[in-house]
Structure 1
Amino acid sequence: MNPKKLKVLSLVLASLLFISCDKPEKPAEKKIELPKPASMLTLVPDDTIFFAGGLEPVPLKEWTQWSITHFNLSKEMFNPQEIQKLREEAKTDGQRLALQIWEDYLATLLALDTQFASWGFAEKPQLASYAIGLAPVLLRINLQDVQRFNTKIAELEEKAKVKAKVETLGTATFRRYALNEQEPLAHLIIGVDGNDAVFMIDVGIESQQTLALALGQSKPEKSLAQGNRLKSLQENYKLLASSLVYLDHQQILTGLTTKDGNRMAKMVQQLASKLKEENKGWLNELHSEGCRKDLQTMGANWPQTVFGYTAFDVKAKPSKVDALMVVESKDKPLLEGLKSLRGFVPYYSKEAVFAPAVFSFGLGLSVENVGPFLMKQWTEITQKQYSCSFLKEMQTDLQAKNPAAVGFATSMASGVRGLSLSLLSLSLEKKEGMATPMPKELEAVVSLSAKDPAALVQTVAAMVPQLATLQIPADGTPVQLPLPMPLPFTPMAAINGSHLTVYAGAKAEQLAKEMGKMSLESSQGFLASSLDYGKYYGLIGDVVASVDKKEGQQQATPQMLSMFEAMKQAKVRVQTKLDFTERGLEMTMDMTSPE
């Protein structure tokens, strides 16, 4: 499939998976008779390579409304010109309908009260996304009104100028729309199975079997409902029961390295039979004993990626939405090495407890451990006995890239534990004759945390002639920082405890002094950031709006300015953290809103 067609297909994937992956938890109400949660899981094959769904129904409309309100979504944020361009490039009914679904999805976001009901979805549905081998079931979702859903699809067909015959399979009905023009033919399938709507992609391999499974007319040999996987994920990671997502690395590798280890492997075999002989080499190599053993060993060390919400309280003041993603690892030596890289991340990068910033960022890094860590990993990889030719080639490439030079470079910054910055406020001023605005007022702090910040200052001063005369007392006394150009504010530098701070503004000065009370061991981590959406995009919008015309063309379009103006009203702070733990690579995202 060419790139243009893939772009079109990605739109419908994004719109449908968005609904299935982002969902909060709220106790199920008894006003609407819904199928028991387990009933949908009985249709999900145990060997699916991914799953997004839950053990309980989700208040879909309520969550969507929260997102629209607090991120202040508006029509200016969407680009109709891009949709029109894709529409002109669309060559098949499936591509045209996918675009129409995407356009209607955006319209639904902008008029949720009236448009949500037009789809016939239950307000608190059970839903799921998963795979039947290589065929993705983009969304299976409970319907409140089957007739309304069928009417919606007919309306979308009319708008997209496509028409599909309503076909029957057992007790289910479905429509088929071609997505490409070459073999194997892929189709977008939109069907109804009882009180469920089903969106899937038939990839043209084992079509009858996958269609029967997707539309609930046959059951998998073993389903997700028969095991305890979802319950274990919920309990182990403290996820909401309505929000459980995973990507199974081991099932993917089984599908690539075996001929019949799972349904994906069997479908890959059938796909390979359609390839020219000269294009089968990579698959034959993956099926070799060496590659199978090497890659499945890697899969055992990195078995899955898990995602889900840990909190979704949209009625609280402030409202709170927390999410967790973990790339699981069983490679304990590697994790210990990664944890040795962690350093100091100041609290203002992780939580808004002081002067909520426009943007804060912190990198915690024990610099002297970087070289030894890289050297150890390089030695292990280059000396490992691989049997797979792909891995042998990678090994040969790495042997020519000894990381010793990195170790030498980082040794000059020995003792450094982290770097951070926080932008509290910024106002711009545009003077006559200047194409871009310049800072007028600034409240910001940049900090470098180290065991001996005074020694670092001396090292830098010795390397940078312009700073040769710079003397920063170790007792916290601030000094004016020399700059190559005049500014309307005065940057100051001070050593506060274990932290070299450079700041401007009274609030930033207070923040810098507060850091002096923090030891390097008091706030450990790797990466953290905090972003006030409204303030940040308001600032970006001000910069964009003040840029002069260049060569007769305005830099910012009216739509772009309107978009930034709408985003300025967003009332959400997003805080993210990336860290190394005994479970693997963990990323958290916490969203809070005062309203």
Structure 2
Amino acid sequence: MKKLIIGAAVVAAGAAGYWYSQQQSGPNILDYIPADTAMLSVQTKPFPIKNYIDSAGGIYGDEYNQAVLAELQNETDPHAVFITSLLKAYLESMKDGATFVKTFGLPDEARSYFYMQGALPVFRMDIANPQAIWTLLDKAEADSGITHEKRTLRDVEYRAYRLTDETDDAAIDMVVATNAGLLTITFNTSINEPGLLESALGLVPYPQSIAKAKTIEKTIAKYGFKEEGISYIDHQQIVTALVTKDGNLLAKHVQKFFELVNEDPLAEMRSAECKNDLTGIVANWPRTVIGLDALNVTPKAMQMDFRTVLESNNSVIMSALQKMRGFIPNYTANIDQLVTSFGFGFNVNEMVPSLTAIWDDVLQVKYQCAPLAEMQNELSQQSPAMLGMATGMANGVQGMSIAIADFELGEDMNNPSLTSLDALITLSAENPAMLVNMIKPMVPQLANIQVPTDGSAVDLSGVLPIPAQVGVQPKLAVKGKHIVIYSGEKSLAMADKLASEPLTGNGMMLITFDYKKLFTPLLRYAEQYGEELPPEVIQLKDYDGQTSVDIDVTEQGVVVAAGMKMNNNKLN
């Protein structure tokens, strides 16, 4: 069952990958999506599915797939067997793009749409060969013994799979339909509004739709995303469902569910006090939005850059967070030249005043809602000013960064060793020489070390307790506004360039990984050393890809920019 859950997560992750490219204005699909949807992921410019699967190369490793499929053979529950039959088809089809699109009847490039009608999810996608879907479902039915009921709604035929027992208070069906070149998967319940399924199947448009609200166009223009589209979670719609009984369709569905179970755990949240307090809070944090900045997919390679923005209208908190931004060196972003890097920018001098400003803002409005008032009372007993004692020693520090440019492992399996390491550690500060002198009393080995201020280095090989079998010759130097410890020629070159980089607040956190440079030698070394590795780890051994994550704060909110590259070396 464990691998079933992991496998299902793989399916979800694959589907989620398609949701990061999206958009279309005009009639058709967007007219059937409610403006008050709590979650939306709309891809209306065709996504190159076939090329995407091919470009993934070895990310969907055979070892992992075989392990998942072996575990699935032990499932006995009919519903689990039904799902595993579809999952098996999914995993087996991932060997190449042509097999994948043929198995599911998809075009080489397809649009997809995911959204919520109240509490009910709807997934729609372009389909080229509907019979392929029915063949997969027929196979799953034969494997599990589960059957469907064929129904018709306004001349559209669909399959309904009952998910509940006859004794349950409400009936829930999974609905699968193909109509007008689209595959639709949704759910229908006995407590649905009469026209809900009609809208899900694209038969009755919504009077208030995202097409009429122009939600997609406005969001893309606001954040400068590519016009393929957006995804978002609407926090305000979710809170409306928590604090009202009929403020939106989601609230109505939640209320109907509570009536079925004869219990309302949200009764306190619907008080006038909680409604006012929570509505005020979520107005400052309305949505989490995801959009594309770059998309380039061929059978041999794929690049996808996207941004996630936690929207904020709280100028006090955003201003305080921006003041805390520190310095991240340019070298941390050179993913093509590194194995991995980590940059953490933080302005120590601004930490206490900024946190105090955030603290005061949180405590300024006196909440009347009991749970919020209790939380606020607990916060009032604390004070970020106490951090001043802890940060005093690091006065002037602007950030810390680490990068590994290269490394080699020894070939003697009886004596595991790191034979060489090309790496750089940077501590950026307004007065690095003074900081070195402050550190000396806490590190006795450095007590007699005199660090030149002209940028020349001091050899630490005889100072630090480094084992002889470790091929590292660390050196310490002050480069401009930066203290560096480095080993290797590549790291020396990066350290020298630091001297000319001004100490500016340019970010909060940056992480990069080159999977091939990092995992290929480590996993092969582990295999040779006799370590038994799980299939999901083994599949990374030959994976040629890069990932970067950049966390920052702007006037618009907290921003997470992520980039991903993949290469299929089998086609090169």
Fold conserved (TM > 0.5)? yes
The one of 93, 103, 106 aligned to 2:88 = 103
Look up the match of 1:287: 270
For residues 169 and 238 of structure 1, the distance between their equivalents in structure 2, rounded to whole angstroms, comes to: 41
Over residues 548-575 of structure 1, what are the superposed CA-to-partner deviations in whole Å (9 max), with x where a residue is unaligned?
A: 5xxxxx5336x467524332xx1x3322
Output the TM-score relative to the length of structure 2: 0.90
Over residues 384-404 of structure 1, what are the superposed CA-to-partner deviations in whole Å (9 max), with x where a residue is unaligned?
A: 300111211211332343333
Over residues 108-157 of structure 1, what are the superposed CA-to-partner deviations in whole Å (9 max), with x where a residue is unaligned?
A: 222321231232223333321000100111x2012212233322322333
Higher RCO, Cα 8 Å, sep 6+: 2
Contact (CA 8 Å) 2:51, 2:299: kept in 1 or not?
no
The one of 504, 522, 537 aligned to 1:540 = 522
The one of 205, 214, 236 aligned to 2:222 = 236
Q: Which moved more, 1:367-376 or 1:160-169?
A: 160-169
Over residues 25-49 of structure 1, what are the superposed CA-to-partner deviations in whole Å (9 max), with x where a residue is unaligned?
A: 9xx9xxxxxxx96301111111111
The one of 101, 119, 124 aligned to 1:140 = 124
The one of 280, 284, 294 aligned to 1:311 = 294
What secondary structure does 1:40 align onto? helix
Look up the match of 2:334: 351
Over residues 372-416 of structure 1, what are the superposed CA-to-partner deviations in whole Å (9 max), with x where a residue is unaligned?
A: 222232233235300111211211332343333322201221100
What secondary structure does 2:485 align onto? strand
1:586 lines up with 2:569 in the alignment: no
Look up the match of 1:171: 155
Contact (CA 8 Å) 2:19, 2:112: kept in 1 or not?
no
Deviation at 1:51, TM superposition (A): 0.9
Over residues 484-504 of structure 1, what are the superposed CA-to-partner deviations in whole Å (9 max), with x where a residue is unaligned?
A: 233333111111111100111
Contact (CA 8 Å) 1:54, 1:230: kept in 2 or not?
no
Runs of 5+ unmatched residues, structure 2: none
Look up the match of 1:74: 61
Look up the match of 1:51: 40
The one of 309, 315, 327 aligned to 1:326 = 309
Contact (CA 8 Å) 2:245, 2:251: kept in 1 or not?
yes
Alpha-carbon RMSD across the aligned residues, in angstroms, is: 3.0
What secondary structure does 1:290 align onto? helix
What secondary structure does 1:565 align onto? coil
The one of 31, 34, 47 aligned to 1:42 = 31
226 and 396 in structure 1: CA distance in 2 versus 1, 3 angstrom threshold: same
What secondary structure does 1:283 align onto? coil
Look up the match of 1:530: 512
The one of 15, 19, 22 aligned to 1:21 = 19
388 and 517 in structure 1: CA distance in 2 versus 1, 3 angstrom threshold: same
Deviation at 1:334, TM superposition (A): 0.7
Contact (CA 8 Å) 1:357, 1:423: kept in 2 or not?
yes
Question: Aligned ranges for residues 496-535 of structure 1 at < 5 Å?
Answer: 496-521=479-504, 524-535=506-517
Question: Aligned ranges for residues 365-514 of structure 1 at < 5 Å?
Answer: 365-429=346-410, 431=412, 434=415, 437-481=416-460, 482-486=463-467, 487-514=470-497
Look up the match of 1:551: none
Q: Which moved more, 1:387-396 or 1:317-326?
A: 317-326
Q: Which moved more, 1:523-532 or 1:184-193?
A: 184-193
What secondary structure does 2:27 align onto? helix
186 and 494 in structure 1: CA distance in 2 versus 1, 3 angstrom threshold: farther
Deviation at 1:336, TM superposition (A): 0.5
545 and 13 in structure 1: CA distance in 2 versus 1, 3 angstrom threshold: closer
Paired residue total:
562
Runs of 5+ unmatched residues, structure 1: 29-35, 549-553
The one of 111, 114, 118 aligned to 2:103 = 118
Contact (CA 8 Å) 1:55, 1:242: kept in 2 or not?
yes
Deviation at 1:365, TM superposition (A): 0.7
Look up the match of 1:245: 231
What secondary structure does 1:286 align onto? helix
Look up the match of 1:556: 533
For residues 163 and 67 of structure 2, the distance between their equivalents in structure 1, rounded to whole angstroms, comes to: 22
Contact (CA 8 Å) 1:24, 1:60: kept in 2 or not?
no
Look up the match of 2:134: 150
Q: Which moved more, 1:36-45 or 1:582-591?
A: 36-45
For residues 45 and 6 of structure 1, the distance between their equivalents in structure 2, rounded to whole angstroms, comes to: 33
What is the percent sequence identity of the aligned residues? Answer: 28
Residue 517 of structure 2 aligns to which amino acid in structure 1?
K
What secondary structure does 1:47 align onto? coil
For residues 299 and 482 of structure 2, the distance between their equivalents in structure 1, rounded to whole angstroms, comes to: 37
